[in-house]
Structure 1
Amino acid sequence: MIETVSVTRYITPLREGGSLPGVVEADDLGTYVCKFRGAGQGIRVLVAEVIVGELARRIGLDTPRLVALELDPDIARYEADEEVQDLLNASPGLNLGVDFLPGAFGWDGDVPTGGELASTVLWLDAFCANVDRSWRNPNLLRWHGDLWVIDHGAALYFHHAWAGGVTDPARFAVQAWDPSDHVLLDRAQDLGAVDGRLSALVTPELLTEVVAQVPDAWLDPESTPGVADSAALRASYVEFLTARLRTRQWLPKLAG
């Protein structure tokens, strides 16, 4: 699983995000953007962040290192902001830490290494059904001249329907993905070749390794009727992603 470290200090909120993530320091001397389990989007957003973020890393995209942040809510006693206090008190235990990239700035419209990088990001978002990489919210950073992908909590929408039990993976497998609003659509080139390369790389075994990175504390079988334990829930994620890997209805067809 991703490494676990403990929060030692809450520094400041990031009010650009609707879930009010915050910058924190941890006992490994690292600085992280903390995404809280007690935020309104729910804990499955953290699961999607890990699965898609770790998959991005394995297909060669730059993405910040992820850790699980152990949070003691006593830290809230030192915060004057009541909204922050409430969020800290609602988030005891493991939260998600995204490595803070000092000096990074929002994407400026340039793709440093051309169409293959853009196509790789497009492929990832199509495969994982990420609906949150538009011009309104690119979720891309420039850091030391490179393009970094961040914020994948809006992907893997299928698990939000599991409150009534695990749904049919075949439906997600053939679900089309609309690329029209994607920020990199007009920069993508030769998506077919990129699909061939990534299809050989992303195997069921790799997907199993990626899903294994999710902490057990975020896999709550009690919230998914018919699932016995966290191992069964992990297997469901692998089943859904493997089923989608075997189809191509989700892959965009680029003009030209």
Structure 2
Amino acid sequence: MQKIDIRTVDVIQYLQPLREGGSLPAIVKADDGFLYVLKFRGAGQGKMALIAEFMGGELARAIGLKVPELVFMNLDESFSKTQPDEEIQDLLKFSVGLNLGLHFLSSAITFDPLVTTVDGLTASKIVLLDSLISNIDRTDKNTNLLYWNKELWVIDNGASFYFHHNWPNWTEHLTRTFPLIKDHVLLKKADQLTEAAVEIKRLLTEDIIRDIVSSIPEDWLQSESETMSPADMKAAYMEYMTTKLSNIDLLVKEAADAR
């Protein structure tokens, strides 16, 4: 098995905010010469959104979906001092340290379900992935999919794993299905759910899940308000994903009924 290898880069230039995103992500340049969409630890949902973005993206990649490269991005305190916009200045100030970047896909267009075609297996895999990770944010109003180089790319998984915003009750989510799948932008096109489930179970092994979970930076799991340790949180993510996978047939039925 090939282990995931997440690079760490330094932000060297803040280029522009993406104001269509509620958390004010930005296009930045890194010391490797590439442009990234930077997701900030100091934004509304904080480090939990970065964990969801990271895990959702790498799980999507593991099942064969197209995902921009994810990198850990160091941001130093100098950027907040040179930013004239007070809102962005505060965001940069509270985001000093390790953040998450997605490789910027230049000239990519937002997926439009009325214009862009997508094959049934790909649609089914995305629908089931979002059921597994409880992603509430891939709807007609906000597709969080891009069309680039004639291929569909999965982005913005930060609204997933919402159980981790309330750790004391996380076990209550283990056996729940995901009724909100009825609003998924690709549900109508997902006509190969059973086949997709077989492929997901084959590709998403316990070792791969453990590799992804173990790659979550310890710093993102530490909070003065949390009683659970980072190790316990990682164990919880592991149990959550393996339990959901063991119940994937229930998610298939739920999505099929919703169609």
TM-score (normalizing by structure 2): 0.91
Partner of 1:198: 200
Cα deviation digits, residues 49-84 of structure 1 (max 9, x gap): 011100000100001111111001211222221111
- Could you tell me which runs of 5 or more consecutive residues in structure 1 were left unpaired when the two chains were aligned: none
What SS does structure 2 have at the residue aligned with 1:119? helix
Cα distance change of structure 1 residues 77 and 222 upon mapping to structure 2, 3 Å threshold? closer
Matches within 5 A, 1:32-71: 32-71=36-75
Higher helix share: 2
Q: 1: CA distance between counterparts of 2:235 and 2:70?
A: 22
Is the CA contact 2:13–2:30 (under 8 Å) kept in the aligned structure 1? yes
Partner of 1:243: 243
Displacement after TM superposition at 1:166 (Å): 6.0
Partner of 1:125: 130
Cα deviation digits, residues 59-116 of structure 1 (max 9, x gap): 0000111111100121122222111111111111011111101111111325555111
- Could you tell me which runs of 5 or more consecutive residues in structure 2 were left unpaired when the two chains were aligned: none
Runs (4+) of structure 1 exceeding 4 A deviation are 110-113
Q: 2: CA distance between counterparts of 1:214 and 1:123?
A: 23
What SS does structure 1 have at the residue aligned with 2:166? helix
Partner of 1:152: 157
Displacement after TM superposition at 1:221 (Å): 6.0
What SS does structure 1 have at the residue aligned with 2:101? strand
* Identity fraction in percent: 43
Is the CA contact 2:63–2:199 (under 8 Å) kept in the aligned structure 1? no
Q: 2: CA distance between counterparts of 1:63 and 1:83?
A: 29
| Match 2:121 to one of 94, 99, 116 | 116
Range with bigger deviation, 126-135 or 108-117: 108-117
Q: 2: CA distance between counterparts of 1:249 and 1:189?
A: 16
Partner of 2:82: 78
- Match status 1:106 vs 2:107: no
Cα deviation digits, residues 167-204 of structure 1 (max 9, x gap): 32x63233333322111011111211111121122222
Q: 2: CA distance between counterparts of 1:54 and 1:171?
A: 21
What SS does structure 2 have at the residue aligned with 1:178? helix
Amino acid at match of 1:216: E
Amino acid at match of 2:124: S
Q: CA RMSD in A?
A: 1.8
Is the CA contact 2:118–2:189 (under 8 Å) kept in the aligned structure 1? no
Displacement after TM superposition at 1:222 (Å): 4.4
Cα deviation digits, residues 111-161 of structure 1 (max 9, x gap): 555111110111111111111000000001010100001000111111111
Q: 2: CA distance between counterparts of 1:66 and 1:237?
A: 19
Amino acid at match of 1:193: E
Partner of 1:139: 144
Q: 1: CA distance between counterparts of 2:205 and 2:179?
A: 21
Partner of 2:100: 96
Partner of 1:218: 220
Amino acid at match of 2:251: W
Amino acid at match of 1:132: D
Q: 1: CA distance between counterparts of 2:110 and 2:205?
A: 32
